Structure 1
Amino acid sequence: MKADKIYINGNIFTVNENDDWAEAVAIRGNEIIYVGDNAGVQIFRAENTEICDLNGKMMLPGFIDGHCHPVMAAHYLCGVYLQVEWSIEECLEEIRRFVRENPDNQTYFGIGYAEWIFDETGPKKELLDDICADKPMMILGSSAHEAWVNTKALEIAGITKETPDPIPGFHYFHRDAQGNPTGHLLEISTQSMIMDKVDFFDDRKIEGVIKENSDGYASMGVTSTCDMGSPEFGLKVYFGKIPEMIEKGTYKQRFFGCGRMVAEKEDVDIVMPRLREYRKKYDSDKFRIHFLKIINDGTLETRSAALSQPYDEDGSMVYPLFDRQEIARLGVEAAKEGLDINVHGIGDEAISGTLAMARAVRDAGYNDCRIVNSHCDYVKDEELSLFGKYNVVANTTCVWHYGNPDMEKVIGDRQNHTFRLKTMIAGGCRMGQGSDFPVDEFGREPLKGIEMGCSRQLFDHPELPVLKPYEEKLSVKDGIKSYTINNAYQMHMDHKLGSIQPGKYADLVILEKNLFDIPVSEIHKVKICETVMDGKTVYKDN
């Protein structure tokens, strides 16, 4: 068997079971057929084999973004894009500029402000009314778990003081002393009540944004994306446009996902029958729908994460969408259907629910069901080891692992005990990483995630605080595995992806420097030289 392409003279970190290093890799079609030294690869060489001299560059398995929302991003990024480090006035000025430069828009949409720049009562509609009072406007916070709307959006959607909150204390409208909505919306159900009545998105732009985002992923070394859900309005693109673009080659990553998320209890009756059909219909190694996604709480920044003790800021309590018994029953039902499960769990009480569900699934004998807890911000001390015990993948976003004194006023000293992934790994847990794009704060580049997991400090800002506990800093190897073999395991694709081994798909990334040989603070600056997906080069640095 002769190779179509051979790479030689590389620092190739295989991420196999022994963490072996190699010099050479041979590819035939979309498959790796040899991994080893320069001498051994020569038997696969033919007259027309392309020879690529790595000249000491590093090769890794293609990066996998284990938690992102490409379809949602294609909709949300058609409007104004705010930066998480901006002040209120900077956000308002950017919104003013966007409205001024797009006077013909019938609606205005945006995303990105940091939820913590406002107090616990959130942003007010009057600030947006001053910019645009006659057209509906919605701006999502950086987590997309809260929104800011103007009076016109509330008016068109028929939201008044008499409108009941979808889930009081969790999915709700902030109100003034008289009960009138203030323009601050918490969680997805309230956003949907506006979006069901107002079309904020330009369908003509969406395919272009998807392609642009996919090209961006390729330039970052990402060869697979795990889409963890879209609202109902995005499903036409999810199941129509994405498979079509993969076929054409304009979407340059493998796509694994779930379709619509379970954000309210009533969603289960809609989502589960669909997943039974999706699992049969969409089952290729380039486009597969196999996850049940449950959003069981909110975020700490929006004060909607489910904590076992009250928020320090205002003494409020938030409870998970499903209690432990309910989510356990749902998990067992999903496992019985052959589905994998991804639970959004940020607060310790919500994460307790994920672990209770995992125990029930394992006790029922479904040991091959891949169970993921996304985000993993704050875990109870006594439950850190349960991730390993019940084989729950801890998927996190390490670009969130940095010191943020603004959050101490919200949850007090608990902020200094977040993201304890190193302890969880020591207990046998697999750690995966995802960007949560488009609601990530500081970028979807895997190299930033690897660096900040190791430093627990914002990249390029050595003067800023390191996130406590300092001893939770990860190793570079942990960071690499989190974007490769561990995410492949999460996606039930570790037999085909995530390491450089014969018989696996040729999904590869070539880096200018060896990540093990440079200071941690320099990792995010390393150049991606080439990205190969399914044996084809989808990005090459000029």
Structure 2
Amino acid sequence: MSADKLYVNGSIFTVNKDREWAEAVAVEGNKIVYVGDRAGADAFCDEDTEIYDLDGKMMLPGFIDGHCHPVMAAHVLSQIVFDIDWTLDECLDNIRKYVAEHPDADAYFGLGYAEWLFDEKGPRKELLDDICPDKPMFFLGSGAHEAWGNSKCFEMAGITKDTPDPLPGLHYFSRNEKGEPAGHIVEGRAQAMIMSKINFFDSDSVINIMAENSADYAAMGVTGTVDVGMYSYLEKQYYEALDAIRDSGKYLQRFVGCTCHLDDVDLVDSRIEAIVKAREKYNDDKFRINLFKIINDGTMESRSAALSEPYPEDGSVVKPLMDEKTAAEAGLKAAKEGLDVNMHAIGDVAARSVVAMAKAIREAGYDDCRVTCSHSQYVAPDDIPLFGKYDIIANSTGVWMYGNPLMDKVLGHINNETFRMRSLIDGGARMALGSDFPVDEYGREPLKSIEMCATRKMYGQPDAPVLEPADEKTTVQEAIEGFTINNAYQMHMDDVIGSIEVGKYADFVILEENILDIPLEDIHNVKVIETVMDGVTTYKA
């Protein structure tokens, strides 16, 4: 057997516990055929084998974004993209500028204003009415679990003071003193009542945006993505986009997804049925649908996360979409169909539903079902060891792990008790990392997240405040595993990707420096030299 390419003379970190470092890697076609010392590689070479001199650079398995929304991103990034650091005045100025530059638009859409700019009552429609009173305006917040709309938006959607909230206390419209919608729209079912009535998106641009985003991912060293869902009212557009991007050959990552996520307990059966049907069409190692995603609460910034304590500002208490019993029943239904399960759980009460779901799945004998707790932001101390016991994957996002004193007023002491990844790992859980793109705020680059997992402070800012508890930092190696083998496990593909091993696909990234051997604060600056997916170079610096 002769290899097409042989990689030598670098720091090759395999993420294989049996052999973490190698001197040479040989690739034939799209598969790895040799991993070992330099001398042993000669048996796989002939005069046609290309020798790739790494020249001291680092080679890793390709990064996998274990929590993102690539199809949704292609829709919501089509107009105004807010900078997370903009003040309210800067947000309004940029909206005003965009409207002036696009006077012929029928509607205005955007993503990413900082949700902590406002008090517990949220943003107000009058601020947008002053800019554009005659066309609908709808802007998703930085976490996409709340939105900001103008009066025309509510008018065209037929939402008045007499319109009931879809799920009071979790999916709702903030109201003014007259009981009318005030401009603040919380969670997906409330957002759907507007977005299903007004067309904010140009379908012709979606595929181009998705291809551009995929190319950007390749430049970051990403070879796989876990798509954790689209709004259910855009399900038709989801399939259209996925069909088109697959046919185009312009998606440069492996894609595992769930189609649309669930935010209505009455739709469990129909959503599972839709995923099983989609799996018949998408079920190979490039594109696969096999994930049941539940949105069980909101975000802390939107004050819609399900916490065991009232929010300090107004004493409000938020309940999760699914209690423990309902979550267990839903998870079992999905597991019986051979689906993996992912539950968005920001607050500790929502996370407890994940534990109950996983417990039911394991006790029923579905040991191969991958159960993921998305975000794992605030897990009760008593529940942390249960993640390991019931094989719950603790998904999180490194670029969220920084000290933010602005959230003290929203969360009180809880603001210093979040993202306890050290404890989760020590308790036996697998940490799987993702960006939550397009609601990634400070970037979706894996190297940023790897640095911030290990520092718990804003990348590139050595003097920035540390996110407490400071002793919840991970190691760099654990963060690398979180972007490689652990995400491959979450994708149910750890037998074919996630580490550099013989027989696995040739998915890897080459970095300018060995990130295990440099100061932590320098990791985000390390340059991606080349990305290879399925044996094909998808990016080269």
**Aligning the two structures, in what range does the TM-score lie when normalised by the shorter sequence?**
over 0.9
C-alpha distance 189-505 of structure 1, shift in aligned 2 (>3 A):
same
User: Residues 234 and 56 from structure 1, CA distance in 2 versus in 1: closer, same or farther, beyond 3 angstroms?
Assistant: farther
SS of the aligned residue for 1:153 comes to helix
Identity of aligned residues (%): 57
Question: How far apart are the structure 1 equivalents of 2:309 and 2:478?
Answer: 31
Deviation larger for 409-418 or 17-26: 17-26
Deviations 1:332-368 (A, max 9, x none): 1111110000000000000001001110110111111
Alignment correspondent of 1:144 = 144
Query: Is the partner of 2:123 in helix, strand or coil?
Result: coil
Q: Contact between 2:510 and 2:530, CA under 8 Å: does it hold in 1?
A: yes
Give the structure 2 partner of residue 486 of structure 1.
486
Distance in structure 1 (CA, Å) of the matches to 2:237 and 2:539: 24
Q: Give the residue type in structure 1 aligned to 2:420.
A: R
State whether residues 67 and 226 of structure 1, in contact with CA within 8 Å, keep that contact through their aligned partners in structure 2.
yes
1:71–1:237 contact (8 Å) kept in structure 2: no
Residue identity opposite 2:129 in structure 1: D
TM-score for the superposition, normalised by structure 2: 0.99
Structure-to-structure mapping, 1:77-156, within 5 angstroms:
77-156=77-156
CA distance in 2, matches of 1:241, 1:119: 37
CA distance in 1, matches of 2:16, 2:66: 19
Q: Does 1:317 align with 2:317?
A: yes
Consecutive unaligned residues of structure 2, counting only runs of 5 or more, are: none
CA RMSD, 1 decimal: 1.0
Deviates more, 1:380-389 or 1:263-272: 263-272
Query: Per-residue deviation at 1:45?
Result: 1.2
Q: Deviation of residue 247 (structure 1)?
A: 4.3
Equivalent residue number for residue 42 of structure 1: 42
Corresponding residue for residue 196 of structure 1: 196
- Per the alignment, residue 264 of structure 1 pairs with 264
For residue 534 of structure 2, what is the aligned residue in structure 1? Answer: 534
SS at match of 1:384: helix
Tell me the CA shift for residue 275 of structure 1. Answer: 1.6
Partner residue, 2:172:
172
Q: Superposed, which structure 2 residues align to 1:440-455 within 5 Å? A: 440-455=440-455
The match for 2:216 is: 216
Conserved 8 A contact 1:79-1:109: yes
Q: What code does the residue aligned with 2:304 have?
A: S
Q: Is the 8 A contact 1:135 1:153 kept in 2?
A: yes
**Residue 460 of structure 1, CA deviation:** 1.9
1:132-180: CA deviations, max 9, x gaps? 1111010000000000000001000000000000000100000012201
CA shift, 1:49, in A, is 1.6
- For the 8 Å contact 1:485–1:498, the answer to whether it is kept is yes
Aligned to 2:301: 301
Cα separation, partners in 2 of 1:363 and 1:50, compared to 1, 3 Å: same
Q: Distance in 1 between matches of 2:92 and 2:408?
A: 26
Q: Which residue of 2 aligns with 1:401?
A: 401
Q: Is the 8 A contact 2:192 2:233 kept in 1?
A: no
Is 1:433 paired with 2:433?
A: yes
CA contact (8 A) 2:263 2:296 kept: yes
CA gap of 1:368–1:81, structure 2 versus 1, over 3 A, is same
User: Equivalent residue of 1:110, what SS?
Assistant: strand
> Could you tell me whether the CA contact under 8 Å between 1:173 and 1:184 is conserved in 2?
yes
Partner SS state of residue 210, structure 1:
helix
Mapped contact 1:243–1:287 kept (Cα < 8 A):
no
1:360 aligns with 2:360: yes
User: 1:278: Cα distance to partner?
Assistant: 1.8
Matched-pair contact (CA < 8 Å) for 1:108–1:138: yes
Name the counterpart of 2:347: 347
Q: Is the Cα contact below 8 Å between 1:255 and 1:288 reproduced in 2?
A: yes
- Report the residue type matching 2:363 in the other structure: D
C-alpha deviation, 1:19, in angstroms: 5.2
Residue pairs, 1:228-307, within 5 angstroms: 228-307=228-307
Quick one: distance in 2 between partners of 1:402 and 1:489? Answer: 27
Separation in 1 of the partners of 2:488 and 2:185? Answer: 35
If the length of structure 1 is used for normalisation, what is the TM-score? 0.98
Match of 2:336 in 1: 336
Deviation at 1:76, TM superposition (A): 0.3
Per-residue CA shift, 1:9-35, capped at 9, x if unaligned? Answer: 110000012351011111111100001
Separation of aligned partners in 2, 1:505 and 1:12: 16
How big is the shift at 1:376?
Answer: 0.6
SS at match of 1:531: strand
Amino acid across the alignment from 2:72: M
- SS at structure 2 position matched to 1:59: strand
Give 1:518's aligned residue: 518
CA–CA distance in 1 between the matches of 2:463 and 2:494?
39
Judge conservation of contact 2:71–2:241 (CA < 8 Å) in 1.
Answer: no
Q: Which secondary structure state, in structure 1, belongs to the residue aligned with residue 16 of structure 2?
A: coil
Residue in structure 1 matched with residue 181 of structure 2 by the alignment? 181
**Equivalent in the alignment of 1:51:** 51
Unaligned runs of 5+ in 1: none
Distance 1:271 1:92, change over 3 A: same
> For the structure 1 residues 243 and 54, does the alpha-carbon distance in structure 2 shift closer, same or farther, using more than 3 Å as the test?
farther
- Per the TM alignment, residue 86 of structure 1 is displaced from its structure 2 partner at its CA by 1.2
Q: Distance in 1 between matches of 2:307 and 2:368?
A: 30
**AA partner of residue 412 (structure 2):** G
- The CA distance in 2 between the partners of 1:54 and 1:240, in whole Å, is 41
On the 8 A contact 1:398/1:453 being kept in 2, the answer is: yes
- 2:8 aligned partner, one-letter code: I
Q: Which residue of 2 aligns with 1:12?
A: 12
Count of residue correspondences: 541
Please tell me whether the aligned partners of residues 115 and 141 of structure 2 are also in contact (alpha carbons under 8 angstroms).
yes
Deviation at 1:196, TM superposition (A): 1.1
Deviation of the 1:526 alpha carbon: 0.2
Equivalents in 2 of 1:17, 1:493: separation in Å? 17
Secondary structure at the counterpart of residue 23 of structure 1:
strand
Displacement of 1:236 in angstroms is: 3.6
Shift of 1:211: 0.9
1:256-312: CA deviation from partner (whole Å, max 9, x where unpaired): 000111011123233111122122321100000000000000000000000111111
Letter in 2 for 1:356: A
For residues 61-100 of structure 1, the C-alpha deviation after alignment (integer angstroms, 9 at most, x for no partner) is 0000000000100000001000111110111111111111
The 1:274/1:305 distance shift into structure 2, 3 A limit, reads same
Name the residue aligned to 2:372. 372
2:494 corresponds to which letter in structure 1? D
Return closer, same or farther for 1:85/1:92 CA change in 2, 3 Å cut-off: same
Amino acid at match of 1:186: V
SS in 2 for 1:66: strand
* Residue deviations 1:87-135 (CA, integer Å, cap 9, x gap): 1011111111111111111110001011111000001001111111111
- 1:501 positional shift: 0.2
Aligned partner letter, 1:32: I
Name the amino acid aligned to 1:415: N
